[in-house]
């Protein structure tokens, strides 16, 4: 048998991040600064280096390596760039929060963040079920440790245990589904599964049975109903810096898995998985929005909000193929991709402001903690208002166009009732977002202390808010990038 050496250039970004994560882990042993400034700088330089490597190794073509277990394409490169930028922003926002908490200000936070980023990169470029599972587990194990990084917090430890137990169950469902798909098609390679299903060389019954478990495992990673049990407890119990990480970057990787596994590998079974995703989507929008209304804790409210937003994103996935015609697919899937990217952008800004208000021994995670924020800092109150308006889908912020593009895809697919349901649930969701704005501008502040932030956070927060506003007014550039990346990657 002739051995073909892998094309390491395609995975050079992953190799670079893995090498630097190991190097930073060792270098941190010699850092004496309690704020871990050197570790922070090295981590940010690693992510900037990954941007450069990904940019210069991107060819725009669909290429495979490692015996077709890894795929390099334009969609993957674009999602990786979004991942790097998201993690860079997360670390800047989290810097002050971590330094105020000595039990968290350790090098492990940065190395675990890099390993989690590496797991997401592997997920984005996976073309084989084993690669998918390796990426998911690398991400999951890093997140379990990050949630429990504050060992003195009972809430964080409890959240980590719940996350670990339920995450292990989801991994079991995912593995069982993969084994059934392998039994039905004789292949673990995603592109190979597509070839065998289109040629009819598979067992239909076993294939659909495995698909059910596969969708269940993916649904857990997305955090949609009824696999959402972990989200409110983990969001609430984890340190806010970790909650920000969980609430943002992994959503991009989960979207990539949906495209890779369901669209690239199992398009022949679109009727089956679209029907399942439709149920998950409607349930998530209903449960997420109505449950969020009852929350007084902002992090729990945003947790249920995340469930509803992922349900909204799935609307794009269920509108791609209509009656066997994939003509709507590019528009629908690109609207889902646009939704995920802009949701992550808005969520990063929201949690960034929560961490600005937090201080030693105080998390600022209750809605009442934002009372009178406008009197304490009109600028940051304005930023938070923009984030809330965007999440609510109010014109003319990016969240409005994200919702509009998804609903447009649903209407084009002929699902008028689904579009009406989506609009109704969006109106329900607007209530609890506007409640936060009301508290900031009309309630009396409990403290008159000014909110201080470092210059880099002020600039970054301002840029974040500006992006939310400008992308709502000029969304075409990002939508065009999403459509172009998908068209070059999934052949639509």
The secondary structure element, H or E, covering residue 72 is strand 70-72
Residue 322 above 90 pLDDT?
Answer: no
Q: Do residues 489 and 482 touch, judged by C-beta distance below 8 A?
A: no
Q: Which of these, 319, 323, 342, 322, lies nearest to 332 by C-alpha position? A: 319
Residue 81 above 60 pLDDT?
Answer: yes
Give the end-to-end CA distance of the chain in Å, rounded to a whole number: 36
CB-based contacts of 408-413 (< 8 A; 24+ apart in sequence): 408/331, 408/335, 409/315, 409/316, 409/319, 409/320, 409/328, 409/331, 409/332, 409/335, 410/315, 410/316, 410/318, 410/319, 412/319, 412/328, 412/331, 412/332, 413/318, 413/319, 413/320, 413/322, 413/328, 413/332
Q: Do residues 175 and 192 touch, judged by C-beta distance below 8 A?
A: no
Residue 370 above 90 pLDDT?
Answer: no
The predicted model gives 87-105 an average pLDDT of 87
pLDDT tens figures, 464-486? 999 999 998 999 999 999 999 88
Residue 412 above 80 pLDDT?
Answer: yes
pLDDT tens figures, 456-466? 888 888 999 99
pLDDT of residue 1: 41
Give the confidence band of 267 by pLDDT, cuts at 50, 70, 90. confident
pLDDT of residue 178: 93
pLDDT of residue 361: 60
What are the Cα distances from residue 109, in Å, to 43, 46, 104, 117, 236?
10, 15, 7, 12, 19
Task: State the greatest distance between any 2 C-alpha atoms of the chain, in Å, as a whole number.
Answer: 76
Cis peptide before 396 (omega within 30 of 0): yes
pLDDT tens figures, 145-188? 999 988 888 888 999 999 999 999 999 999 999 999 999 998 89
For 184-223, b/e burial (b = at least 16 CB within 10 A) is bbebbbbbbbbebbeeeebeeebbbbbbbbbbbbbbbbbb
**Residue 392 corresponds to which tokens in the numbers above?**
């609510």
The secondary structure element, H or E, covering residue 71 is strand 70-72
Task: State the residue for tokens 């349901």.
Answer: 421
**What share of the chain in percent tops pLDDT 70?**
98
pLDDT tens figures, 43-55? 999 999 999 999 9
Give the confidence band of 418 by pLDDT, cuts at 50, 70, 90. very high
pLDDT of residue 125: 92
Give the confidence band of 346 by pLDDT, cuts at 50, 70, 90. very high
Cis peptide before 226 (omega within 30 of 0): yes
Burial grade of 19 (CB within 10 A; 0-12, 13-18, 19 or more): exposed
Domain spans of the chain?
Answer: 8-489
Burial grade of 67 (CB within 10 A; 0-12, 13-18, 19 or more): exposed
Give the integer Cα–Cα distance in Å for 312 and 418: 11
Dihedral angle over CA of 263, 264, 266, 269, nearest 10: 40
Give the integer Cα–Cα distance in Å for 357 and 141: 29
Q: Which of these, 342, 82, 104, lies nearest to 240 by C-alpha position? A: 104
pLDDT tens figures, 279-311? 999 999 999 999 999 998 899 999 999 999 999
Which of helix, strand or coil describes residue 24? Answer: helix
The predicted model gives 50-74 an average pLDDT of 88
Give the integer Cα–Cα distance in Å for 445 and 381: 12
Task: State the residue for tokens 């073909």.
Answer: 4
Residue 415 above 80 pLDDT?
Answer: yes
Q: Do residues 394 and 277 touch, judged by C-beta distance below 8 A?
A: no
pLDDT tens figures, 13-32? 999 999 999 999 999 888 88
Q: Do residues 118 and 46 touch, judged by C-beta distance below 8 A?
A: no
Tell me the chain's radius of gyration from C-alpha atoms: 22
């Amino acid at each position: 048998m002739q051995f073909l050496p892998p094309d390491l250039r395609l995975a050079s970004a992953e190799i670079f991040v893995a090498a630097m994560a190991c190097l930073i882990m060792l270098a941190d042993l010699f850092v004496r600064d309690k704020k871990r400034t050197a570790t922070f700088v090295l981590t940010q330089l690693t992510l900037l280096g990954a941007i450069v490597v990904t940019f210069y190794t991107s060819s725009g073509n669909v290429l495979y390596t490692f015996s077709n277990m890894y795929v390099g394409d334009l969609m993957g490169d674009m999602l990786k760039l979004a991942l790097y930028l998201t993690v860079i922003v997360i670390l800047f926002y989290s810097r002050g929060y971590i330094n105020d908490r000595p039990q968290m200000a350790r090098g492990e936070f940065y190395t675990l963040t890099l390993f989690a980023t590496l797991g997401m990169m592997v997920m984005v470029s996976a073309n084989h079920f084993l690669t998918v599972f390796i990426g998911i587990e690398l991400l999951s194990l890093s997140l379990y440790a990050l949630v429990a990084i504050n060992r003195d917090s009972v809430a964080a430890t409890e959240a980590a245990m719940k996350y670990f137990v339920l995450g292990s169950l989801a991994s079991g469902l995912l593995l069982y589904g993969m084994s059934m798909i392998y039994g039905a098609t004789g292949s673990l390679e995603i592109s190979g599964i597509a070839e065998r299903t289109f040629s009819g060389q598979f067992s239909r019954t076993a294939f659909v049975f495995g698909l059910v478990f596969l969708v269940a495992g993916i649904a857990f990673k997305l955090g949609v109903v009824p696999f959402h049990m972990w989200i409110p407890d983990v969001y609430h119990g984890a340190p806010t810096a970790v909650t920000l990480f969980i609430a943002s970057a992994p959503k991009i990787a989960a979207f990539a898995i949906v495209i890779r596994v369901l669209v690239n590998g199992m398009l022949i079974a679109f009727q089956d998985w679209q029907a399942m995703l439709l149920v998950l989507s409607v349930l998530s929008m209903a449960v997420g929005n109505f449950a969020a209304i009852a929350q007084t804790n902002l992090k729990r409210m945003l947790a249920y909000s995340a469930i509803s937003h992922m349900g909204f994103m799935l609307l794009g996935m269920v509108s791609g193929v209509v009656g066997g015609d994939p003509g709507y697919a590019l528009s629908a899937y690109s609207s889902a991709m646009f939704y995920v990217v802009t949701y992550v952008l808005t969520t990063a800004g929201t949690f960034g402001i929560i961490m600005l208000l937090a201080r030693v021994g105080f998390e600022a995670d209750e809605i009442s903690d934002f009372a009178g924020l406008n009197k304490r800092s009109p600028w940051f109150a304005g930023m938070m208002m923009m984030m809330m308006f965007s999440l609510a889908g109010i014109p003319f912020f990016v969240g409005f166009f994200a919702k509009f593009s998804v609903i447009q895809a649903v209407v084009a697919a002929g699902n008028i009732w689904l579009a009406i349901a989506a609009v109704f649930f969006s109106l329900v969701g607007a209530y609890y977002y506007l409640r936060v704005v009301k508290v900031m501008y009309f309630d009396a502040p409990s403290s008159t202390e000014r909110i201080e932030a470092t210059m880099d956070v002020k600039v970054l927060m301002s840029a974040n808010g500006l992006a939310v506003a400008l992308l709502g007014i000029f969304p075409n550039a990002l939508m065009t990038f999403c459509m172009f990346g998908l068209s070059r990657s999934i052949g639509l």
